[in-house]
Amino acid sequence: MAIPRRLWCSNIILGYLAGYQLLETECDLIIAAANRGDVEIVVSTMAEAEVAYLDGYASDESEARIREFFSRPYVVLRHLTDRLQPQRLCFENGQATLSEVAIKSKRVRDA
């Protein structure tokens, strides 16, 4: 049986690595499941390119945190060339889109 997948966009990764509170709890649950082998986190190569720097961190620390995240065994990079593939990944795995989470994260950060 295939391992369920969760699609993470650059907003989610940046918010999580920067420590936005709203994202941390939800992301920690997904990461705990990934560490148990219950789920994989799929990241597009475009999202990987967009995660270039973490606000509030020195360049060295920012780079180290980003590299560490992408080196995790449960983080799977995919070329999303088919326009509908991200939506298909969400629907096939019972996952809502991530835009609402990203919007909520922005509100918390701006507050």
Let me know if residue 93 belongs to a domain: no
Q: What is the pLDDT of residues 9-30, one digit of tens each?
A: 888 899 889 888 777 788 888 8
- Confidence at 70, pLDDT banded by 50, 70, 90: very high
**Enclosing domain of residue 1:** 1-80
Domains identified in the chain, total number = 1
Let me know if residue 106 belongs to a domain: no
Let me know if residue 99 belongs to a domain: no
> Which alpha helices (DSSP H) does the chain contain, by range?
10-18, 21-35, 45-50, 59-71, 85-92, 99-110
- Confidence at 103, pLDDT banded by 50, 70, 90: very low
Let me know if residue 87 belongs to a domain: no
Q: Using CA atoms, how far apart are residues 101 and 73, in angstroms rounded to an integer? A: 24
Let me know if residue 40 belongs to a domain: yes
Q: Using CA atoms, how far apart are residues 6 and 107, in angstroms rounded to an integer? A: 23
Q: Using CA atoms, how far apart are residues 25 and 16, in angstroms rounded to an integer? A: 9
